[in-house]
A = this chain, B = another copy of it.
Amino acid sequence: MWPVRVYYEDTDNGGVVYYANYLKFMERARTEWLRAMGVEQDYLVEKHDLIFAVRSAQVEYRKPARFNQLLNVTAGIAKTGKASITFEQKITPAEDNTVLLCDAQIRVVSLSASTFTPKPLPKGISMEIFGGN
Contact A68 B41 (CB under 8 A): yes
Answer whether residue A130 sits at the interface, using C-beta atoms and an 8 A cutoff: no
Question: Which of A21-29, A73-81, A84-92 faces chain B?
Answer: A21-29
Complex copy number for this chain: 4
For the complex, is A125 an interface residue (Cβ under 8 Å from B)? Answer: no
By size class, the interface of chain A is 35 or more
Chain A residues engaging chain B, CB cutoff 8 angstroms: 5, 7-9, 11-16, 18-21, 23-24, 27-28, 31, 40-42, 51, 53-61, 64, 66-68, 113, 116
Interface centre among A18, A57, A116 (most CB of B within 10 A): A18
Q: Judge whether B14 and A12 touch: CB under 8 Å.
A: no
Q: Which residues of B contact A64 (CB under 8 A)?
A: 53, 116
Contacting residues, chain B, for A18 (C-beta < 8 A): 8-9
Name the CB-closest residue of B to A13. Answer: B11
A-B contact pairs, 11 of them (CB 8 A): A5-B31, A8-B13, A8-B14, A9-B28, A11-B12, A12-B12, A16-B116, A20-B24, A23-B23, A41-B68, A53-B61
